[in-house]
Amino acid sequence: MLYNDKVMFSISLRSLKGKNLFREVKHRNSPQGPKIIIDGKEYINFSSNDYLGLANHHDLIKASRLAMDKFGLGSGASRLICGGSILHEELEKKIAEFKETESALVFNSGYAANTGIIPAIADEGDAIFSDEFNHASIIDGCRLSKAKTIVYKHKDTDHLERLIRKTKAKHKIIVTDSVFSMDGDIASLKEIYELCASLNLYGRGYPAPTNCLLYIDDAHATGVLGNGKGSLVHFGLKPEPWIIQMGTFSKALGSFGAFVAGSRDPINWVLNTARSFIFSTALPSCVIAASIAALELIEKKPELINRLWANRDKAAKGITKLGYNIIESETPIIPIKTGSIKNTLKISQSLFEKGIFAPAIRPPSVKEPRIRITVTAAHSDEDIGRLIKALVTKM
């Protein structure tokens, strides 16, 4: 069937605008940080995932410059050709040590990691059990795999176990975010861990081990939970051989890229089969150097994480005191329930006019629209006070 591309896209764009779902990019004219400049005006930034305020930290910048002087800028090839430097190897060793695992592997982004790793570890005849609030990259990773994907109710371990019991599969893979990026709540990892452990040890009435694997997306937990080491440490759990952890350098660590950490064999398997790793040009060494510096920084400066949580608690208490519903937030991600898309846009614009940058979050990113406030260690008491004051008048 022939069609006019221009007319088709014009109609589709009008439909998006009619539903208040049309998006535009705003361009920052400043470094990332608690304050940013857009169109010549300064705003307090409550939308960044730069939880520890490291994106513009001098230690990361210095490390990156030194690496650029030594290794140049572009990496020129994939890791399996000649794109990696000795810094890539150093970072992977540091991540394995940081996560207390045998091995680790660097990916180009959290999205590339999830869409590469999940299809690599889940094959035809396997079953993936995915939390209904998992990130889009997890959803896409599940879709790209040959396994059957079964969605369980958000943080409902009883529902998860019922689904596992009635599902026949060669291998069963539980996939969950540890910190859910739009709700700010934490997965029931202790219960999931115990379920997975018992399944692998004949427990809970199963006649044989189910070969159950737990895949944790620690993107918003790395540098935030467990003294920065992530969700397993937060819950006092060990990185068992049947656990694979993914995390990112692009959020609390202030750099760019992602990693997978676990036992040596599964990491080597991912290295040899994950298409997003095999067929991607390696991250530049200067980016890798910044990630190494970030890891070293958070290990020697725990006060950064302490400051983050003090700011989070101050902001959450101030927002809820005004009567706003912050859903089930437990982390520096604080969603404010706003009702309709129209009202969400109205509140976001009101904040913008008051010098607060907090864009509206709308479908398809979430089912229910919201203002997603993210607090960082770099925010001052005055910044948080201005946010609370700007929210005083409800829309």
pLDDT digits (tens, 9 = 90+) for 225-242: 999 999 999 999 999 999
**Residue whose entry in the numeric block shows the structure tokens 């944790």:** 216
Average pLDDT, integer, range 188-205? 80
Torsion from C-alpha of 124, 127, 128, 129, nearest 10 degrees: 170
Task: For residue 244, list its beta bridge partners.
Answer: 215
Is cis: bond before 364, omega within 30 of 0?
A: yes
pLDDT surpasses 70 at 395: no
Q: Which residues have a Cβ under 8 Å from the Cβ of 363 and sit 6 or more positions away? A: 21, 341, 369
For residue 288, the model assigns a pLDDT of 98
> How much of the chain exceeds pLDDT 70, in percent?
95
The catalytic residue among 135, 220, 234, 379 is 220
Q: Which residues have a Cβ under 8 Å from the Cβ of 349 and sit 6 or more positions away? A: none
CA distances for 269 relative to 84, 114, 118, 214, angstroms: 18, 15, 12, 16
Fold of 58-300: Aspartate Aminotransferase; domain 2 (3.40.640)
pLDDT surpasses 70 at 207: no
For residue 379, the model assigns a pLDDT of 98
For residue 205, the model assigns a pLDDT of 46
35 is catalytic: no
Torsion from C-alpha of 259, 113, 49, 61, nearest 10 degrees: 50
Task: For residue 41, list its beta bridge partners.
Answer: 38
Smallest CA-to-CA distance from 50 within 224, 200, 209 is with 224
pLDDT surpasses 90 at 342: yes
Reported as a pLDDT band with limits 50, 70 and 90, residue 204 is very low
pLDDT surpasses 90 at 3: no
Reported as a pLDDT band with limits 50, 70 and 90, residue 313 is very high
**Which ranges in the chain belong to alpha helices (H)?**
5-18, 58-71, 86-99, 110-121, 136-144, 157-166, 189-199, 231-234, 264-273, 275-278, 285-300, 303-321, 341-353, 381-390
Same fold flag, 26-56+302-390 and 58-300: no
Q: What is the DSSP string of 257-269?
A: -EEEEE-HHHHHH
Say how far apart CA 319 and CA 180 lie, in whole Å: 20
Say how far apart CA 341 and CA 365 lie, in whole Å: 12
To the question of pTM greater than 0.85 for the whole model, the response is: yes
For residue 44, the model assigns a pLDDT of 98
Reported as a pLDDT band with limits 50, 70 and 90, residue 297 is very high
The catalytic residue among 251, 255, 276, 285 is 251
pLDDT surpasses 90 at 8: no
Handedness of CA 38, 52, 186, 222 (dihedral sign): positive
Q: Which residues have a Cβ under 8 Å from the Cβ of 136 and sit 6 or more positions away? A: 365
> How much of the chain exceeds pLDDT 90, in percent?
85
pLDDT surpasses 90 at 202: no
181 is catalytic: yes
- Joined tokens for residue 114: 């999830």
Whether 150 and 160 have beta carbons less than 8 Å apart is answered as: no
DSSP code at position 281: B
Say how far apart CA 356 and CA 384 lie, in whole Å: 10
Structure confidence by residue, pLDDT tens digits, 213-229:
999 999 999 999 999 99
Sequence spans of domains, the chain: 26-56+302-390, 58-300
Structure confidence by residue, pLDDT tens digits, 81-132:
999 999 999 999 999 999 999 999 999 999 999 999 999 999 999 999 999 9
pLDDT surpasses 90 at 191: yes
Strands of 370-374's sheet, edge to edge? 333-337, 370-374, 360-361
Reported as a pLDDT band with limits 50, 70 and 90, residue 69 is very high
Strands of 127-131's sheet, edge to edge? 103-107, 258-262, 243-248, 212-217, 172-177, 127-131, 148-152
Reported as a pLDDT band with limits 50, 70 and 90, residue 1 is very low
For residue 25, the model assigns a pLDDT of 84
pLDDT surpasses 90 at 201: no
pLDDT surpasses 80 at 53: yes
pLDDT surpasses 60 at 394: no
Average pLDDT, integer, range 358-364? 91
**Residue whose entry in the numeric block shows the structure tokens 């989070």:** 312
The number of CA neighbours under 13 Å toward the Cβ of 107 is: 25
Pick 344 or 2 by higher pLDDT: 344
Structure confidence by residue, pLDDT tens digits, 56-65:
999 999 999 9
Work out the mean pLDDT of the chain and round it to a whole number. Answer: 93
Average pLDDT, integer, range 254-265? 97
Average pLDDT, integer, range 65-72? 97
For residue 9, the model assigns a pLDDT of 84
27 is catalytic: no
What are the backbone angles phi and psi of residue 330, rounded to the nearest 5°? -130, 5
Neighbours of 315 (CB within 10 A): 24
- Joined tokens for residue 69: 């002087």
Task: For residue 182, list its beta bridge partners.
Answer: none
Right CATH number for 26-56+302-390 from 3.30.1490.20, 3.40.50.2300, 3.90.1150.10, 3.10.580.10? Answer: 3.90.1150.10
Handedness of CA 76, 78, 81, 84 (dihedral sign): positive
For residue 208, the model assigns a pLDDT of 46
